[in-house]
Structure 1
Amino acid sequence: MFRRTFWFTAGAAAGVWATAKVNRKLKQLTPESLAAQAADKAIETGHRLKDFALDVREGMARREAELGDALGLEAPVDQDLPVQRHRAVEAGGPPARPAYRTLPSNSNNRNEDH
């Protein structure tokens, strides 16, 4: 009799445990829960990308300072200003030609309204 009571209690406990585990998993798979999990992952990814960008910017500023010291440049680096790029061609050169072809004013364009 004691053996039957033991196995009955063990089976009931296993059933309660399995039911609780299934219900917990079902709550995790509801649309609201999935949306909240996706939003949390998106926010976490955004924070990681921001941290990465800040690390890259800090490394760039450090390397720029190292190169400035190596080249003998004494200009201070302002962290708030964007980096200004210089053109390789002097400003006094010939004017640049447009990259597109202009059509003559009396073109025979058949697609225009008449």
Structure 2
Amino acid sequence: MFRRTFWFTAGAAAGVWATTKVNRKLKQLTPESLAAQAANKAVETGHRLKDFALDVRAGMLQREAELGEALGLDAPVDQGTALDRELPEPRRRPTLGTTPHKTTHSIPTIPYNRNEDH
């Protein structure tokens, strides 16, 4: 008799345990729960990306300071007066459709729009 009672109790306990486990899993798989889990993962990923960006920025500033120190860019510069300094001539770029060298024949330039083919 004791043996039957033991196995009946063990079976009932296993059934209750399995039922609660399955019900928990089913609640995790509802659309609302899946949406909440996805939102939590997205927020967590955003925080990790922000931390990564801040680490990269800190490393960049540190390396920039090291390079500035190694190249002597942090040394004070003799400013002089504004009249003592001359600005270089601005560079001129040839406009589209013109060639920097002289040609014997002219080829008409037709603007090509890549989006016309689509």
Same fold (TM over 0.5): yes
User: Equivalences for 1:10-29 in 2 at 5 Å?
Assistant: 10-29=10-29
Deviation at 1:69, TM superposition (A): 0.2
For these two proteins, the number of residue pairs brought into alignment is 88
Identity over the aligned pairs, expressed in percent?
76
Q: Distance in 2 between matches of 1:98 and 1:23?
A: 70
Deviation at 1:92, TM superposition (A): 2.0
3-state SS, counterpart of residue 37 of structure 2: helix
Q: Distance in 2 between matches of 1:67 and 1:23?
A: 60
Q: Distance in 1 between matches of 2:7 and 2:34?
A: 38
Structure 2: which amino acid aligns with 1:11?
G
Structure 1: which amino acid aligns with 2:19?
T
1:47-99 per-position Cα deviation (integer Å, ceiling 9, x unaligned) = 00000000000000000000000000117xxxxxxxxxxxxxx6522234238
The yes-or-no answer on 1:98 pairing with 2:85 is: no
In the TM superposition, structure 1's runs of 4+ consecutive aligned residues that sit over 3 Å from their partners are none
Q: Distance in 1 between matches of 2:19 and 2:89?
A: 78
Runs of at least 5 residues in structure 2 that lack an aligned partner in the other structure? 76-87, 98-108, 112-118
Root-mean-square deviation (Å): 1.9
Please say which structure displays the higher CA radius of gyration.
2
Q: Distance in 2 between matches of 1:98 and 1:40?
A: 52
1:3-31 per-position Cα deviation (integer Å, ceiling 9, x unaligned) = 00000000000000000000000000000
13 and 91 in structure 1: CA distance in 2 versus 1, 3 angstrom threshold: farther
Q: TM-score, normalised by structure 2?
A: 0.68
3-state SS, counterpart of residue 96 of structure 2: coil
Q: 1:3 matched to which residue of 2?
A: 3
